[in-house]
Amino acid sequence: KENSLDKDILLLNKEINRIKKEKNSFILENKFDEAYELRKKEASLMSKLNEISLNYSDGNRVVTIEDIASVINIKTKIPVYEILKEDMMVINKIKEDLANTIVGQDEVIDELIDITKRIKYGYSDNKCYSLLFMGPSGIGKTLISKIYAKNLVGEDNFIRLDMSEYSDVTSINKIIGSSPGYVGYDDNKNILEEVRNKPNSVILLDEIDKAHPKVINLFYQILDEGKLKDSKGNIVRFDNSIIIMTSNIGSEYILEDNNNHDLVMSKLKENFRPEFLNRVDEIIIFNSLNKDTMYQILDKLISDLNKRLKDKNINLSLTDKAKNFIVDSGFDHNYGARPLKRFIVKNLETILARGLIDNTIKVGDKLIVDVDKDKLTINK
């Protein structure tokens, strides 16, 4: 009986390995429908293999793969055994939320969704997956990261580091902890400890180019080996993490010409060691925003404002003249959507707030925003 079981286990392992290789080939070729079918076969065979192995090792109690996955999930929050239909629901929700929120980055969203399919379909080299988002300020790099993380792992498992706060060599301690004998050695307030507690996380390294070279070297080790030692010698693994880095390097070439990716990459290579860049799984270059996309962003911002006013049953609409005035006043090619948002807050939301306070704007009002003498006005 044992010989028969050994043979069954060996055959199943061979078949699983064969399917994995074929599935990974499809993933690399972006043939996701074919990869999805093989992923289902792989999951089915893995379940069968675990059932045989567990029954073989314990004749008194049958422990299913779901039992083990449930315990691991409770302890680590890592979704070890996911139902493929749920995987697709997560991927579709990510795409829907990004498409509804981000303007002018359709190609970036499509690329990110393909990457997510690779991750969800089990393509892995036992190291964390890493992405580098390139592009000017205010085009949505950080926002995309937040929305992506919220849908993929949940807000609690999103770790954001402003790398401008890691510009000196001593900031290494913020990541790995203080050395023995130094203040803070006995506490656990460092990034590695946070990753240890949130192993299934998305880690955003905002403006990675502003970090000290020795800090970047730490992340080079993580990208290379998928793990790092803290100051106490404990190994923290990043196998189930996704690292997203952002950078404005080469933005001048994107602003001049959206298709000039070669110059952006050349500038990137001047600022980072080849060993580091070679270990980044995907480098994604964002588009700059133009005036046409600003009108779409304006519509979204006004829609969000109306949602906030919904509890007062107040609705806001803009004349074409007001839209043109806001976009002309708030558009800055170098800084993306941020100046537009600031302009709306300062010149529109302030008027609304004053009107609500002095009772000139009341519950149930239908308001029209127009322009008079180079100023926004609100009329009923």
From the number of C-beta atoms within 10 Å of its C-beta (0-12, 13-18, 19+), residue 45 rates as middle
**pLDDT for the residue 146:** 95
Q: Mind giving me the DSSP string for 67-132?
A: HHHHHHHHHH----S--HHHHHHHHHHHHHHHHHH--S-HHHHHHHHHHHHHHHTT---SS-EEEE
Distance CA 219, CA 268 (A): 17
**pLDDT for the residue 328:** 93
**pLDDT for the residue 122:** 65
Is 215 in contact with 163 (CB distance < 8 Å)?
Answer: yes
Paired strand residues for 212? none
* Per-residue tokens: 374: 């180079």
Instruction: Report the alpha-carbon angle 103-365-372, nearest 5.
Output: 70
**pLDDT for the residue 61:** 46
Per run of 10 residues, the mean pLDDT along the chain (length 380 residues) is 64 82 77 78 75 57 50 49 66 92 91 86 70 92 95 92 92 80 53 87 95 91 88 86 93 76 88 89 90 92 92 92 94 86 92 89 91 89
**pLDDT for the residue 320:** 95
Distance CA 88, CA 120 (A): 9
Distance CA 352, CA 377 (A): 10
Is 24 in contact with 123 (CB distance < 8 Å)?
Answer: yes
From the number of C-beta atoms within 10 Å of its C-beta (0-12, 13-18, 19+), residue 135 rates as buried
